[in-house]
Amino acid sequence: MIIFPAIDIKGGKCVRLLKGDFNKITQYKKSPIDQAIEFSNLGFKNIHLVDLDGALKGKLINKNIIKEISKINKIKIQVGGGIRSLEHIKKLLDFGVDKVIIGTAAVENIEFLKIACNKFNRKIVISLDVRKGYIALSGWKKQTNILASDFVKKIENMGISRIIYTDINKDGTKSGPNLEETLNFSNLTKIPVLVSGGIASINDVINIKKNKSPNIKGIIIGKAIYDGSIDVKELCKII
């Protein structure tokens, strides 16, 4: 089980959103780079990084920050937000990013996803941001009528590295993850799944580890780390 502390970047700052709402944003004192260094020093080996400006604008915005974080020793980062082209993917991988997360572009253009997976073997992560089972796109602003359970059938054999399954209505709420829905989803695919959204406590993490399906391989944790609901030193002990 991999624990991914999350860093969301907006305007060059480290932030968290509530249920994906850009009008409900909390900004933190530490810069994204300083926060990443702290996570590394605590013993985390992986970081989940999202360029929220990029997600809104459909292009890489905070690339200099991402580049600096990718240089931190012994840290693997997966990066998403606004990645819409093979050029974007190559640039991030050239920085030293471990995995590149595609969301909107993957759902809107399956052929692009197929080409990306072929070109960048085992480097592509799919982000499925879901409300009540249906995928949302473009920084969670655009709601589709595409069921995540239907979409995953189309991408099963493309060589995708992992899927991030985020319940938007849980994200940033610390109300506990939608574990039942995520477990059900993970049972539909052989692709490794990461749980995202709503993690509130160490008990949530332990519960996921205890009740996980074979395909649930990791947990992304954001707000609960930043506001102290989860003691990161205690979290490190159960990685």
- pLDDT, residue 4, reads 96
CATH of the domain at 27: 3.20.20.70
Catalytic machinery residues: 8, 129
Tell me the pLDDT tens digit for each residue of 119-137: 999 999 999 989 888 998 8
Annotate 130-175 with DSSP letters as a single string. EETTEEEETTTTEEEEEEHHHHHHHSTTS---EEEEEETTTTTT-S
**Segments in the chain below pLDDT 70:** 19-21, 138-140, 170-174, 212, 239
Q: How many domains does the chain have?
A: 1
- pLDDT, residue 171, reads 67
- pLDDT, residue 139, reads 59
Range of the domain at 175: 2-237
- pLDDT, residue 140, reads 63
CB 149 within 8 A of CB 187: no
Tokens of 153: 């059938």
- pLDDT, residue 108, reads 92
- pLDDT, residue 123, reads 98
d(CA 102, CA 87) in angstroms, rounded, equals 13
